[in-house]
Amino acid sequence: MKNEQLEVPNLTSKLRKDLVFSPPVIQNASGIQLFGQTIKSIIYTTDVAVIANCDADAILAVYPWTPNTRILQAISCVANVPFLAGIGGGLTKGLRSVTIGRFAEEMGANGVVLNAPTSHKSIMAVSKGIDVPVFYTVVNNEVNLKKLIQLGVNAFNVAGGKETAKLVYWIREELEKEYPNFPIIASGGHTDASIQETIDAGANAITFSASSLTDKIFKKKMELYRSK
């Protein structure tokens, strides 16, 4: 029997079988090599319970509050896969972003993420002050992509809402000649169709939210407990 005819065996345990699974369509993405590990599915969460019980290839730990070292430390304690740490870029910037970035690196972060309004000065400081890849969040087509790369950005994190796929396509067109293989991760939306559209547009890896998936698991468990 040839290997391609075999199904992938799934080993788990009675107590840890209810994982938060990433949408299977994400496996159609090319993936990104991050320190030797192939990353295709990236779960967007800071919930340590979800982080400890998911099948994603990596964690995207960004949130709407100023970066906190205690949060990063908690994530590093439970993450079994690489994680990308948000280090600000809006209200939190400059030396503070560099300091948090250094802390994240020491805690095991495999990359840091800067918000869309990060100044060029802050990007340069972060890229010089840490030794992990710098991801820059692109939210519209009003940024100078090539300038960001020259300043030290190593990958783009595209978060354009309903326009994400179009934004990814625009980035690929802009970088086609000089940076044809530049790494792009992007939010995939809530359906297989939207995820595939984002992959087809040129995203190497897809970020997905855990909230609805977690709710389904919780509801299923509670229904089971009530029935007993």
Query: pLDDT digit string (tens) for 16-55?
Result: 777 888 999 999 999 999 999 999 999 999 999 899 999 9
User: Looking at residue 11, what is its pLDDT?
Assistant: 83
The average pLDDT across 124-143 equals 96
Given the structure tokens 């709407």, which residue do they identify?
A: 64
Share of the chain above pLDDT 90, in %: 75
Rounded CA gap, 91 and 113, in Å?
14
What confidence score (pLDDT) does residue 19 get? Answer: 83
Who contacts 55 (Cβ-Cβ below 8 Å, separation ≥6)?
A: 19, 20, 21, 22, 41
Tell me which of 11 and 103 has the higher pLDDT.
103
pLDDT for the residue 222: 66
d(CA 18, CA 130): 37
Q: 45, 57, 37, 41: which is closest to 85 by C-alpha?
A: 45
Q: Give the pLDDT confidence of 83-122 residue by residue, as tens digits.
A: 999 999 877 888 899 999 999 999 999 999 999 889 999 9
40 Cβ contact list (under 8 Å, min separation 6): 26, 27, 29, 30, 31, 32, 57, 205, 206
Over residues 56-70, the mean pLDDT reads 93
Separation of alpha carbons 123 and 137, rounded Å: 12
Q: Are 216 and 171 in contact (CB under 8 A)?
A: no
Q: Please name the helix (run of DSSP H) or strand (run of DSSP E) that holds residue 143, with its range, or none.
A: none
Verdict on whether the full-model pTM lies above 0.85: yes
